[in-house]
Amino acid sequence: MTDERRIVELDKRHVWHPYTPMQKYLEHTEPLVVVRAAGSRFYDASGRSYLDANSSWWCAVLGHGHPRLVEALREQAERLCHVPLAGIAHEQAALLGAELAQAAPRGLEHVFYSDDGSTAVETALKLAVQYSAQIGRPKRRRFVALDGAFHGETLGASLLSGIEVFRRGLGGVTLDCLRVPAGPGAHDRAFAMLTELVEGYEAEIAGVVLEPMLQGAAGMRPYDAELLRTARAVTSRHGIPLIFDEVFTGYGRTGPMWASAHAGVEPDILCVAKGFTAGMLPMAATLATHEVFAAFLGDPSRAFLHGHTFCGNPLGARLAREVLAVYRDEQVLERARPKAQAIRRTFEALGAVPGVQGARCLGMVGALDLDASGYLGEGGWRVYEAALRRGAYLRPLGSTVYVAPALNIPDADLEELLAIVGESVREVLSG
């Protein structure tokens, strides 16, 4: 039996895949078996390559196997792989804390480390609830989130989620969340309602949680910077923490390092993951202002008794530092600008193709819809198949076809990827 057959056989016997109807997978799916990846491509056992259109679930922001990241990991592995962050300080966590605070929006100087986007959000929620209680507002225990929001998969984070199918299995379990209807084209209305909700229920709201500028898993839905300023104004007025989940939008995905910069506003709490370690290791951080941090000082009963085994993991921290250094040394944001324009040109052109709906772009993201069926739509999967035959891995969000490639994708690879997107969309629409 070839290695590839053996891998698929063991996979199907033992591996429970994420977001996957397993019966259909077991009976009908021939998974792509990836043996290595380099730059913006995966390779299968036969040596065939596939362009990674969405940087491996939005995290490989510097492509695969960046030599500086690989070297940093190797070096750190020989020195120190793990120690608990309880009563112990180490160089990588300390330097990263300082470098991250420096790179972050103004005022976010305290860094709480965790493992991934979900735990970064979970940390933010627990911080906000305890913060409220400790500033004398114990009735503030609810959150405001947008319809279509995606904030991760731990229980708290998934209950914030406004994507109904992601919550369906959790009927009856609640996190008290006031949901603002957003959806395509409805952001203006949603933020007007957000303001009304905060004004009306300020005594009960522990935090407002937003993916700034762009709702990712909702189907790459951008919205206006002015709306973020609205949210900042109303939360500031009532002293309610504004939590920005930049797990996807951070690290230049939308253009500037942080999407909040489009609006010139700063959150009280910021969640970062994904691009944080450029897809090399799971590691995340939740940043907070001194005002939030200070509410946890004083009597030990006020402490934030929360943490994870791998908090501040030296390997992850070393990598996260190297990612920031590569961003600076290779001028990743500046050099992504013409690439973002190339994405814009392609998606604007595709917007004129009959059958394509709502073509849209923001920074290094381009998206379009094939129909209005949303996350369970099939249209995107037909484009996925067509793109795979042409050498690109273009996993859709239901009926939404999108690209979110590495920010440093070589121009020639980007051109090839965009050509494949165009040909695959046209093929499916004409078939």
Ligand X SMILES: *Cc1c(COP(=O)(O)O)cnc(C)c1O
- Binding residues for ligand X (CB under 6 A): 116-118, 121, 150-153, 211, 216-217, 245, 247-248, 273
Q: In sequence order, what DSSP letters do the residues of 319-378 get, joined into one string?
A: HHHHHHHHHHHTTHHHHHHHHHHHHHHHHHHHHTSTT-EEEEEETTEEEEESSS-GGG-S
* Closer to ligand X by Cβ: residue 49 or 123: 123
- 265: tokens are 């506003």
> Least distance in Å: CB of 273 to ligand X?
5
* Closer to ligand X by Cβ: residue 151 or 321: 151
* Closer to ligand X by Cβ: residue 114 or 195: 114
Point out the residue whose Cβ comes nearest to ligand X.
117
Q: Where are the alpha helices (DSSP H) in 3-90?
A: 3-14, 22-28, 55-58, 67-79
* Closer to ligand X by Cβ: residue 146 or 425: 146
**Which backbone phi and psi does 36 adopt, to 5 degrees?**
-160, 170
* Closer to ligand X by Cβ: residue 295 or 404: 404
- In the block, residue with structure tokens 């700034």: 212
Interhelix angle 91-103/314-329, nearest 10 degrees: 40
**What is the CA 245 to chain-centroid distance, rounded?**
8
* Closer to ligand X by Cβ: residue 54 or 134: 54
> Least distance in Å: CB of 279 to ligand X?
10
- 303: tokens are 């402490």
Q: Rounded distance, CA 66 to CA 326, Å?
A: 10
Return the DSSP state at 396: -
Query: 235: closest CA among 191, 294, 288?
Result: 191
Q: Rounded distance, CA 405 to CA 42, Å?
A: 13
Are 101 and 111 within 8 A, CB to CB?
A: yes
* Closer to ligand X by Cβ: residue 121 or 359: 121
> Least distance in Å: CB of 219 to ligand X?
12
> Least distance in Å: CB of 151 to ligand X?
5
> Least distance in Å: CB of 214 to ligand X?
9
> Least distance in Å: CB of 57 to ligand X?
7
> Least distance in Å: CB of 229 to ligand X?
20
